[in-house]
Amino acid sequence: MSERARTWALRLLALGIAIGIWFNASVEDRLVSSEKVVEASVRYDRPRGFIIINPVQSVNVRLIGSKKAVRQLNPYMVDVQVELSRRQEGSAIINLGPENVLAPEGLEVIAIEPSTIRVDLEREITQRLPVIPKLVGEPAAGAIAGEPEVFPNQVLVSGPASLVARVGSLTTQPISLEGHALSFEQSAAVVPPDPLIQIVQPSNVSVRIPMRQPGEEAGEPKKTDEPRKESRKEPA
């Protein structure tokens, strides 16, 4: 056999080996199964007018499928759906099964941990609550901050009935008095007292902070250093 023929024979042999390796790997990817556990988000279809207290945010789902499908899997491709539209107020234990899992085609659910979750449903209400501004810092030049005025002084919130009933008032984001010696007005966001309580409207209020100098009585007009002029009576 000539040198050229031997070279071509070696090349064809190498190509055949490469094709064989690729084919075996491809067949293994399609036929050999593999498992993977992903942390899947739990999504709830809750009844209108109700809210879920302390919902379970995620569960572990074990899936089986081809090595290729498992290798391409990531947690964002798997969701657990919980149907609550026919549930009533109160606590319930929900059993989770493969029918609750949304996953890519070709993957099979073999386990969910935990397999049961507790769901607490409570009626959602809306209510107006007063707003008390949060003042921080010290005014300039020894000035004294008076009683702040809030416009509007109440905002509408929504949330679980038991939580809203325990909230007597709302507060704003901190309003700094630093550097202020004269009365001023500032817009401030209302802070929800709990993640389950939402500010419906308005989300911002206007706060006016009256300032007075030491020695001035609250509510009195500011005194000036200008001497008082006496009225002169004209001779008759």
> Contact, 119 vs 96, CB < 8 A?
no
Residue 216 has pLDDT above 70, yes or no: no
Which two tokens mark 87?
A: 């549930």
Longest dimension (CA), the chain: 149
pLDDT over 50 at 236, yes or no: no
Does the structure show a pLDDT above 80 at 43? yes
- Residue 84: Cβ-neighbour burial (10 angstroms; 0-12, 13-18, 19+): middle
pLDDT band at 22 (very low <50, low <70, confident <90, very high): low
pLDDT for the residue 70: 81
Which residues in 6-57 belong to E strands, given as ranges?
33-45, 50-53
Which pLDDT does position 85 carry in this prediction?
73
Say if residues 124 and 105 touch (Cβ distance below 8 Å): no
Q: What is the pTM of this model?
A: 0.59
In DSSP notation, 105-170 reads TT-EEEEEESSEEEEEEEEEEEEEEEEE--EES--GGG-EE---EEESSEEEEEEEHHHHHH---E
Domains with residue ranges and CATH for the chain = 32-114 (2.170.120), 124-212 (2.170.120.40)
The set of residues, in sequence order, having a beta carbon less than 8 Å from that of 51 and lying 6+ positions away, is 121, 122, 123, 124, 159, 160, 196
Q: Can you list the pairs that 222-225 forms with residues at least 24 positions away whose Cβ atoms lie under 8 Å?
A: none
Region 178-196: what's the mean pLDDT? 91
Alpha-carbon Rg for the chain, nearest whole angstrom, is 36
Q: What is the pLDDT of residue 226?
A: 39
CB atoms within 10 A of CB 129: 18
Whole-angstrom distance, CA of residue 120 vs CA of residue 42: 15
Question: What pLDDT is recorded for position 98?
Answer: 92
Residue with tokens 């809030």: 150
